[in-house]
Amino acid sequence: MSQAILPAVRPAVAQIKPVNREVELKFLVAEVGFKAAQQWPVLGLNGRRPSSRRLHTVYYDTAQGDLQRHKMLLRMRTLPRGHVMTLKWSGGFPGGLFERGEIEVTTAYEVPDPSLFGAEVAGMIEAATEGRALAAIYATDIRRATHQIRSETSTIEIAFDAGVIVAGEMTMPVREIELEWKAGDVADLYRLGVALAEAFPVRLGMLAKSDRGVLLAAGASPKAVRSYAMLSGDLTVDEAIGRAINSCLAQFAANWPAFEAGDAVAAVHQMRVALRRLRAMLGLFQRAFPCPEFVSLREEARDIATLLGEARNLDVFMRLVREGPHAAFPDEAGFEDILQDCEARREAAYGSVRDLLAAPATTRFVLSAQAFVARCGWRNSLPADALPRLTAPAQEFAAQNLSRLHDKLLKRGKHVTALSPHQRHELRIGLKKLRYVAELFGPLFDNPAQVKSYTRTTARLQDQLGTFNDMNVAIGMVNQIAGAHLRAAGIILGWCGRGTGTDQDTLKENWRDFRKSRRFWD
């Protein structure tokens, strides 16, 4: 499937399905759970057999992967009565990982002709590919059984997919349960997903078949994801709340595949960052619009981050020992023994992370938060006279909070070099909150260069204070694991003590730069 595809001749009749908002959840499951879930009482079988069909689908892109880079996919699906060409794309939708745009057109031909979508959508594809030829990259061959679940408030389709992804000589098995929102209250989709995860041994899948196909064709593995930017344009506060929460949830969950594929160190770090960003946002919103679910979600995020913390602390400590005292004193045998002890602890900590991500409670956390956003649950906690504040421009809300956080830090960081370790820690936490708010809300302001300069200045100061904090954490860790290796432990303690007390001139410089930094929101 590597040949370039020439545009098909336009058929006499093309039936176009209007642009849709696609919202779907995918759950990975072993064969036993797959069979058991097909008897789920929620399906309301009553002796009825599900609709079943075979789906052969070919996915197209340029040799350079232009569509994938622009978060678009183009596929041709063969059905008994013809072919369906589909374009899906991310971006412009507030639903995070689970929401995409979608447009379909029925055609008599089995190769793609983007012009059938109409001029606007065809132009999107042309701009993304820069006119380069499309080629078949990978295919899927799936047996799908579907059920429609209708309630008073929504219609949701449940599909049981089993089959294979094929890219050249390489194959990858597929066995998953897909829940797709069709109509009504989208929050019902997330509630049904929580019920499925609690009833059967399933795991929320964060990679679509198309993502797995791209990786299979490239011989690649998922990599850690830094962040998701979802705020832009003239948003209201109400819209910004949902998008900010979804941005943090997306970063957290998008790193699960990287962790499972082996990029564990970076994935754990990014998951912790995502949860800290989420807690900072929820605290910000709780202050302005008190809501019990802001509080409960913040507590759940804290608990999950705590479980990730042991693995991250060991990663940081082992890197510090290898790159610092061990490199300086390579003949000291005690370092290797300490590192071996740390590695055993690290394996146990990463096992705990693996269990955490597979636990129904973690899936419930993500989906319950998405349901909360889908129904804009914070509105229900406000008195009627406070609701108009949600319609205010998000830019104004961001500016007020950025000013408050910035001014608070200026007071807290006065005489920065004389601060105690605890005071430096509190200053660092405050800088993190400010930086997260600046990064998330920065796109609302029409001065990206100033936003970038401000967040970089904040990051430099935060990173230096973070180094001091890492040293203090390392001191505590040495006291736990030193054992009989007293000489090596003493060297590490001396190294860390030196690190916490030096570089005051750089700290002064970084603080001065922060104090004089231009506030991009003014």
What pLDDT, in 10s, does the model give residues 1-44? 333 332 333 333 344 444 578 899 999 999 999 999 999 999 88
258 falls in which pLDDT band (50, 70, 90)? very high
Determine contact, residues 370/98, Cβ cutoff 8 Å: yes
Residue 95's pLDDT is what?
Answer: 56
Q: Give the whole-angstrom CA distance, residue 506 versus residue 500.
A: 13
Q: At what angle do helices 448-481 and 421-441 cross, to 10 degrees?
A: 140
* Tens digits of residue pLDDT in 183-231: 999 999 999 999 999 999 999 999 999 999 999 999 999 999 987 777 8
Distance of CA 367 to the CA centre of its chain: 13
Query: Which residues, including other chains, have CB under 8 Å from residue 131's CB and lie 6 or more apart?
Result: none
The secondary structure of the chain in percent helix, strand, coil, rounded to multiples of 5, reads 60, 20, 20
What mean pLDDT comes out for the span 446-463?
A: 94
* Distance separating the N- and C-terminal Cα atoms of the chain: 55
pLDDT digits (tens, 9 = 90+) for 337-369: 889 999 999 999 999 999 999 999 999 999 999
**Whole-number Å distance between alpha carbons of 294 and 283:** 7
Residue-wise pLDDT for 401-416, tens only, equals 999 999 999 999 988 9
Kind plus residue range of the DSSP H or E element containing 215:
helix 209-218
- Give the pLDDT of residue 497: 73
pLDDT reading at 175 higher than 90: yes
Q: Please give the helix or strand (H or E) that residue 489 lies within, else none.
A: helix 486-501
What are the residue ranges of helices labelled H in 70-111?
A: none
- Helix (H, G, I), strand (E, B), or coil: what is residue 414? coil
User: What is this structure's pTM?
Assistant: 0.89
Structural domains of the chain, ranges and CATH numbers in brackets:
4-220 (2.40.320.10), 264-516 (1.40.20.10)
Q: What is the largest CA-CA distance in the chain?
A: 83
CB neighbours (10 Å) of residue 109? 17
CB atoms within 10 A of CB 440: 24
Give the type of residue at 95.
G
* In the predicted structure, residue 74 carries a pLDDT above the cut 60: yes
For residue 167, pLDDT over 90 is answered with yes
Question: How far is Cα 250 from Cα 274, in angstroms, rounded to an integer?
Answer: 8
- Per-residue confidence at 51, pLDDT binned at 50, 70, 90? confident
Of 421 and 137, more confident: 137
Spatial CB neighbours of 246, under 8 Å, sequence gap ≥ 6 = 94, 95, 96, 228, 230, 370, 373
Q: What is the mean pLDDT of the segment spanning 474-494?
A: 80
Give residue for tokens 């061990």: 326
**What is the DSSP secondary structure assignment for residue 116, as one 8-state letter?**
G
Q: What is the CA radius of gyration of the chain?
A: 26
Angle, CA 364 vertex, CA 361 and CA 370 arms, to 5°: 150
**Cα distance between residue 311 and residue 348, in whole Å:** 9
In angstroms, rounded to a whole number, what is the distance separating the alpha carbons of residues 475 and 155? Answer: 56
Structure confidence at residue 96 (pLDDT): 63
